[in-house]
Amino acid sequence: MLLCKISFSKLLTDLLKRKDAHRMYYNILKLLKEGFNDNKGWKKTWQNPEIKKKYDVIIIGGGGHGLATAFYLAKEFNIKNIAVLEKKWIGGGNVGRNTTIIRSNYLLNENEAFYEFSLKLWETLEKQINYNAMVSQRGVLNVFHSDAQRDSFVRRGNSMIINGADAELYDVNKIKSIYPFLDYNNARFPIKGGLFQKRGGTVRHDAVAWGYAHGADELGVDIIQNCEVTGFKFKSGTCVGVKTSKGDILANKIGCAVAGSTSVLMSKANMNLPLESHVLQAFVSESLKPLIPGVITFGAGHFYISQSDKGGLVFGGDIDGYNSYAQRGGMDMLEDVCEGGLALMPTIGKARLLRMWGGIMDMSMDGSPIIDKTHIKGLYLNAGWCYGGFKATPASGWCFAHLLAKGDSHSLSENFQLDRFKNGYMIDEKGQGAQPNLH
Amino acid sequence: MTRLTRNKSSLINTHKTLSFVFDGKKYKGFEGDTLASALLANDVKLIARSFKYHRPRGIITSGSHEPNALVEITRDNYNEPNSKATTVELYEGLKAKSQNCWPSLKFDMMSINDKFSNFIGAGFYYKTFMWPSSFWEKIYEPLIRKAAGLGKLSRSQNNGNSEKGFLHCDLLIIGSGPSGLISAYIAGLAGIKVILIEEDYIFGGSLNNEIFKISNMSAQDWVQSILKEIRKLPNVRCIKNTSVIGMFDHGIFGAIQKLKQNKIEQIFWKIMSKKALLCSGSLERLIPFQNNDLPGIMLSGSIRSYLNRWGVNNFGKVLLFTNNDDTYLTALDLISSGINLIGVVDTRDNPKIFNSKIKVYKSSQVVNAKGKFSLKGVDIVNQEGKITHLKCDFLGVSGGWNPNIHLSCHTGVRPEWNEKIHAFVAGKKNISTHLKTVGSANGKFSLNECVLDAEKQVLEILSDLKMKPKKYNLPKIKEQSFEIDPFWFVKIGSQRKWVDLQNDVTVKDIEMAYAENFRSVEHLKRYTTLGMGTDQGKTSNVTGLAILASLSNKSIPDVGTTVFRPPYVPLSIEALVGSSIGKNFKPTRLTPTHNWARDYGASFTETGLWLRAEWYSQKNENHWRMSVDREVNSVRNSVGFCDVSTLGKIDIQGKDALEFVNKVYCNGFAKLPVGKVRYGLMLREDGIVMDDGTTARMTENHFIMTTTTVNAESVYRHLEFCHQCLWPEMDVHLISTTDAWAQIAIAGPNSRKIISKIVDKQFDVSNKNFPFMACKEITICGGVLARLFRISFSGELAYELSVPTQYASSLASYLMEIGKEENIIPYGTEALGVMRIEKGHAAGAELNGTISALNLNMGKMVSNKKDSIGMILSKREGLNTLDGLRLVGLKPIKANNQLISGSHLFALDDKINPKNDLGYITSSCYSPTLKSYIALGFLKNGCNRHGDKIKISNPILGNEAFAEVCNPIFVDANGEKLRA
Amino acid sequence: MIIDHPLLGPRDISEFIYLGDATLLNRPNWDDKKAEDNFYKYLYLRENVAGMHKELWFHQQGDRSWLVISRNTVTHEIIKVELATEIKKKLEKSND
């Protein structure tokens, strides 16, 4: 009762004090006010500013990572003069078309610490950016089907706990009690147990891009859409700016966060990178009443699934496996993914596929990302996220901002070096080596 | 009150009456009806409630682009939610019910949402629900999730009634309207292989909706006559009830065929075509105005369909609202059927005069619809602003036609704007030369143009395929024109005007999104959810775009276009899986002794796709440890045999075979003598261990390589890569023989005795003549071809005997018989595993893809004196650090403390954190030989820590243990038994 | 996708396994002074072009031949399919 009272008064003070300091502040009072005002008072979620001649930092790429970087540069690292340059419309790339999963259940310490940091940032994100990204921590369950798999999940679960994340090992009976509709009777590869992370879950992906854009915009970041970077400007070997479809723009530092388009962008600086761009397909079904409470991944094939708040089943599988910038894949992968789905949960057989997309994944040579300076002064790189970039959005933004602001790596991303392949310090979760399509 | 009299000119069979139920009430319809046409004929107008605001809704279209009339079909053992009443063919006993309403369709409590629409407009949820943060998962989200969702999946298992098949053709024709029929006719006569596919349950497309004359017969009759000609051609396959759901690269299409009353309910076809023609017609679009979502407001072309195809004639008073000429066909047909046509409200100033009997309200717009659960009347406004109220029961709306080009975008070609018809057509920049649009799908809106277009395109295709056309007769069709003036939405009035009827997106929503800076087509779609429903925006996308264009003062093509993606219509996941369900998800591979082992009572385990015997329980054993411990003891004390056929076997032959083997292994093979086997360590090019095994030199140029089970295929592929892509000049040939030869390990101090009993007398298997690591091609049992290898995985005196797979089971029986004296037993993968751990042999758990030769304590095996795969990069700094991981053995301080695989290793006094993490346990077991639990693992700087005590941390299973670091070779470290 | 095998005609992509850029044919010399650097570049650095790409595929469920396929990574159009052995032999000849 007391808690309610304290919370309510805190709510009121929060609601009343913030509105003037912002261009556009969102909360329930504003929603009610505008509802009575025929919704005439809503302003732009982010502005369309004029491009300045020079900035302290330019971020190339208006996706989740680029926008998050700009936000943290302004909020945590006090950089004032920032621009995000987006070729088309912000959030139109992978952040706009993924399976929305967040989790921190990696095997290797270098990765696990980073993703756990990201998960902690997800937990307080909405307040930071003043936008409801529907961060929903309803649990991520990875089922396994053999002793060997169980052993590797035990190792992984231990890594998670050692790095401060939460993890539990479930036996098959526990799984049956939470997910009674999985196939326990007729499976080709019977479920033997699962690794469960309660704090894992889903986030509304579009809202992440729009939310970070809103948050960054409130802090004075210039978000420039329909501005394609066509080249870099160099002076005595240092990168001093970019050439764009809207003219030249100078900057002290330039950070590249363009995911699957990284090689194309960096080729303009004459760089070949340890990356291959691959297509990953994602699928959504017609909207159904609630069936799947959390995120489940299949262990005997590539398949993972969750159910969005609108009711659609959101699922995906493996990359198609060949270099592609086409943002579409083949029918055989669609069939493969559906086979995995029915092997895990036959009950979704009658659900109807409504839509499918493909994105461009920047697959790296060890499956782990790159957040590092390049050999060119002033030019910084954030890439190699493979198909796991969405969950990394906050930490990637934070660590890239740290690197750009301070000139050296955040401790949690110091292993994500570009030259680690040259020196033999690969961070290889799957143990597949220098073949991007196997990660 | 059911009304069953229908117009005469319809394609339904009025002699066959069907009964059906909707929302608990019984009705009657006819064979050939859809659920929608039957409901309309029975005066049922209210069919559904919309998704968000639960507004009363009726039928809008007569096809698969229906946004509103979604119902749940109840079948025997499952329910099919979100079924479009406009495409469900009526059958006897059909049971349907409305969805998304409670407690009933007429009195839906959730319609209260509509009162709050100002507060729950597009994107409202992004602006709130943020506080308190715990409330999102506990309260807000569960409520939203419960309210969302249009249908419910029953929890029963699916029935496996789906099949899949392949079809190949020269020309795939999608759609059997006039363009499709003409194309199939001309192409079929020319003799090429044609598949004609139709989504509907009858052929004919738009012509099924028309009664005008073609070649002196009604359009519907003309369809039958040309179909008759087409059906005579054996090279043309006609399939109906089939939707082409996607176009993929290189002429591959996916299509789903529904079968009526059949054990197999649907077939998913994968169609490989050389050429394809999209004859999918066009879809009419609506015009948003105030309250344009009342039941009774439909597409005007759909009114014509219901009238002419299904004979529905109880429309009462009908008004039409249009900006184009096609609506007048509806007007003419209504008049000739004696239906009360109030008039046509035309936005244009000077529309063509079609018939003096039609009252035309020129330069006018419908600005408001009135009624509660069904349309009662509308307000119209003319150029001067004069408002007139017209009573009507049905309003047919037409804002123009969108060529149905969905499929043409699937391989990345963006549509182009056509100013003449004010619609998008397929992009000309045809990245894929496979698919072309024809007829009305190609923007040709008059019938004569359709026919000529079909002819032109088929002739081009025949020419591409180097085929000559044969004589054909085309119907003569009067030239018609199609006029349209653009008119996208009514601006007058402040009440809501509906754009996307399924997701309840209004003009106001779009204006608000624009104000909030969601100005690109993609942003608009995602923010408002316009076009994201099960109809995929077929009736709303272009209108939405036009509104956006008007707000941003740009032309429609400048604003852009949303790209269509598969599937064209939703299809069930089980259709895409067919019969690969349950145990058929993946194949099961059985070892050559499987049947024998099964009969013997073995327990089986999965290794990849293989089923392998894990142990062979005897009668008194009620726990697996009893069996495994016994098997290990039996082997180490006497003899046992194990089926190891699953390990990869690769035959390598040729003059350069030795050099080839020497290049793919990192250790030296150049001096391997004939008749000897050697352990081989195979690296990836990055210096990490890929696989290990043995290679035997049978003759000078004949080698047999073994691999681990899991890597059999990938190693083979790698060897072929090395040969074909790196050293094609080498004279070497490879073939996988894994499935041709059975391989039985026979191990233990008495193994030589067993081998002597089975090998034919001319072969000397004494220790002198067949020492450790020898190999030879021999015969056994009086002439059966076999291969004998003296290699050991268990560390005991051992052999591996290879015979052609068909002899394996009888060999197993025979071994049991001749080994009675030595108490021979079969042993499984568990005992195999225990023994190899006791011997410190690396296996799959150690070769995890991040481990180098150095990590395995085999650094010195990597020869620097020759080129081999991986040697150079194995020298990288990061792979040779002083504190690198090394393979160690671990013995618990307390012998009965189990050491668990996956545990992490720490120094005794260190805190459990990532900085102090020293490694992990890879394999563990109970060793009956040492009478203790043991484990193998990787420990930083492990070689210098033998004798140290360390902490074994396993927080996920809640335990901790302490162990001593030791030599990973627990048993017979000097290998004396091997050489006995 | 359909791959037009030079010996076997058009085959469905599901019969093949993809490896990567055809530059993997140009394995460096092991006894070169800069061997470690050369091997690093060979194995790890890629052009990853958005356009015409020469790449290696293995016909796993067919004749087990390695193929060099010239394919556009933006449109997926396949221009040429050749046997890897022939390409490699040509490369060797031009290096001599």
Q: How far apart are CA A266 and CA A243, in angstroms?
A: 13
* A394 neighbors A68 (Cβ within 8 angstroms): yes
* B504 neighbors B51 (Cβ within 8 angstroms): yes
B721 touches chain C (CB under 8 A): yes
CB nearest B876 (choices: A147, A167, A423):
A423
Q: How far apart are CA B348 and CA B86, in angstroms?
A: 31
Running DSSP on this structure, what letter comes out for residue A404?
A: H
B864 touches chain C (CB under 8 A): no
B876: closest chain C residue by CA: C36
pLDDT given at position A140: 98
Do B249 and C89 lie within an 8 Å CB cutoff? Answer: no
Q: How far apart are CA B449 and CA A180, in angstroms?
A: 58
Which residue, among B188, B176, B278, B187, has the nearest Cα to B223 in the 3D structure?
B176
Task: Please write the tens of the pLDDT for every residue from B368-409.
Answer: 999 999 999 999 999 999 999 999 999 999 999 999 999 999
- Cβ contacts (< 8 Å) between B708 and chain A: which residues? none
Q: pLDDT band at B433, cuts 50/70/90?
A: low
- Cβ contacts (< 8 Å) between B156 and chain A: which residues? 347
Which chains touch A (3+ CB pairs under 8 A)? B, C
Do C47 and A275 lie within an 8 Å CB cutoff? Answer: no
Do C20 and A275 lie within an 8 Å CB cutoff? Answer: no
- Cβ contacts (< 8 Å) between A157 and chain B: which residues? 902, 956
- pLDDT of C81 over the 90 cut: yes
B873 touches chain C (CB under 8 A): yes
pLDDT given at position B158: 60
Do B605 and A288 lie within an 8 Å CB cutoff? Answer: no
pLDDT, mean of residues B570-580? 94
- Cβ contacts (< 8 Å) between A27 and chain B: which residues? 127-128, 130-131
Q: How far apart are CA B933 and CA B613, in angstroms?
A: 23
Closest-CA distance of chain B to residue C48, Å: 20
Q: pLDDT band at B157, cuts 50/70/90?
A: low
Running DSSP on this structure, what letter comes out for residue B414?
A: P
Q: How far apart are CA B334 and CA B396, in angstroms?
A: 11
Whole-number Cα distances in Å, B599 to B616, B640, B812, B849: 10, 18, 12, 37
Whether omega before B570 lies within 30 degrees of 0, making that bond cis, reads: no
Question: Which positions ≥6 away from A222 have C-beta within 8 Å?
Answer: A49, A51, A52, A55, A82, A83, A84
pLDDT given at position B264: 87
- Cβ contacts (< 8 Å) between A274 and chain C: which residues? 44-46
- pLDDT of A4 over the 70 cut: no
CB nearest A154 (choices: B148, B155, B900):
B900
One-letter identity of residue A419: D
In the structure, how many helices (H) and strands (E) does chain C have? 2, 6
Pairing type for strands B282-284 and B266-278 reads unpaired
One-letter identity of residue B449: E
Closest-CA distance of chain B to residue A244, Å: 20
Percentage of chain C modeled with pLDDT above 90: 95
Give CA torsion, residues B422, B425, B429, B431, to 10 deg: 160
CB nearest A206 (choices: B526, B536, B880):
B526
pLDDT given at position A16: 53
* C18 neighbors A321 (Cβ within 8 angstroms): yes
Which residue, among B141, B67, B80, B72, has the nearest Cα to B100 in the 3D structure?
B72
Q: How far apart are CA A289 and CA A307, in angstroms?
A: 10
CB nearest A169 (choices: B116, B534, B956):
B956
Q: How far apart are CA C70 and CA C63, in angstroms?
A: 20
Percentage of chain B modeled with pLDDT above 70: 98
Q: What tokens does B682 get? A: 């195979």
Q: How far apart are CA B604 and CA B611, in angstroms?
A: 6
Task: Please write the tens of the pLDDT for every residue from B494-545.
Answer: 999 999 999 999 999 999 999 999 998 889 999 999 998 888 888 899 999 9
pLDDT given at position B666: 98
Q: How does the average pLDDT of chain B come out, rounded?
A: 94
Q: How far apart are CA B633 and CA B641, in angstroms?
A: 13
Give CA torsion, residues A46, A48, A49, A53, to 10 deg: 110
- pLDDT of B708 over the 90 cut: yes
- pLDDT of B430 over the 70 cut: no
- Cβ contacts (< 8 Å) between B872 and chain C: which residues? 30, 35-36, 39
A270: closest chain C residue by CA: C47
CB nearest A291 (choices: B153, B529, B584):
B153
Q: How far apart are CA B629 and CA B621, in angstroms?
A: 11
Q: How far apart are CA A61 and CA B824, in angstroms?
A: 69
| Residue pairs spanning A and B at CB distance below 8 A | 338
Q: What tokens does B869 get? A: 């795969």
Task: Please write the tens of the pLDDT for every residue from B256-266.
Answer: 999 976 788 89
- pLDDT of A64 over the 50 cut: yes
Which chains touch B (3+ CB pairs under 8 A)? A, C
CB nearest C46 (choices: A273, A321, A326):
A273
Of B33-42, B311-320, B551-560, give the lowest mean pLDDT range. B551-560
Closest-CA distance of chain A to residue B287, Å: 23
Respond yes or no on whether ipTM tops 0.95. yes
What is the CA A78 to chain-centroid distance, rounded? 24
- Using a CB–CB cut-off of 8 Å, the residues of C that contact B are 1-2, 10, 12, 17, 19, 24-25, 27, 30-31, 35-36, 39-40, 43, 56, 58, 60, 64-66, 75-78, 83-85, 88-89, 92
* B217 neighbors B492 (Cβ within 8 angstroms): no
Do B686 and C24 lie within an 8 Å CB cutoff? Answer: no
Do C2 and B713 lie within an 8 Å CB cutoff? Answer: no
One-letter identity of residue A207: A
Task: Please write the tens of the pLDDT for every residue from B322-378.
Answer: 999 999 999 999 999 999 999 999 999 999 999 999 999 999 999 999 999 999 999
- Cβ contacts (< 8 Å) between C85 and chain B: which residues? 724-725, 728
* B772 neighbors B678 (Cβ within 8 angstroms): no
Helices (H), B487-623: 507-515, 521-528, 541-552, 556-559, 573-577, 594-600
Do C66 and B724 lie within an 8 Å CB cutoff? Answer: yes
Do A274 and C45 lie within an 8 Å CB cutoff? Answer: yes
Q: How far apart are CA C46 and CA A263, in angstroms?
A: 8
Do A437 and C20 lie within an 8 Å CB cutoff? Answer: yes
Whole-number Cα distances in Å, B820 to B479, B743, B752, B809: 96, 21, 14, 17
Of B157-161, B162-166, B231-235, give the lowest mean pLDDT range. B157-161
pLDDT given at position A149: 97
Q: How does the average pLDDT of chain A come out, rounded?
A: 94
Closest-CA distance of chain C to residue B677, Å: 27
* B523 neighbors B482 (Cβ within 8 angstroms): no
Q: How many degrees, rounded to 5, is the angle at CA B467 between CA B462 and CA B470?
A: 85
Of B258-262, B941-945, C87-91, give the lowest mean pLDDT range. B258-262
Which chains touch C (3+ CB pairs under 8 A)? A, B
B126 touches chain C (CB under 8 A): no
Do B158 and A349 lie within an 8 Å CB cutoff? Answer: yes
Count how many Cα atoms sit within 13 Å of the Cα of residue B578 in the half-sphere of its side chain: 17
- Cβ contacts (< 8 Å) between C38 and chain A: which residues? none
Do B904 and A159 lie within an 8 Å CB cutoff? Answer: yes
B168 touches chain C (CB under 8 A): no
Do C50 and A274 lie within an 8 Å CB cutoff? Answer: no
One-letter identity of residue A408: D
- Cβ contacts (< 8 Å) between C1 and chain A: which residues? 330
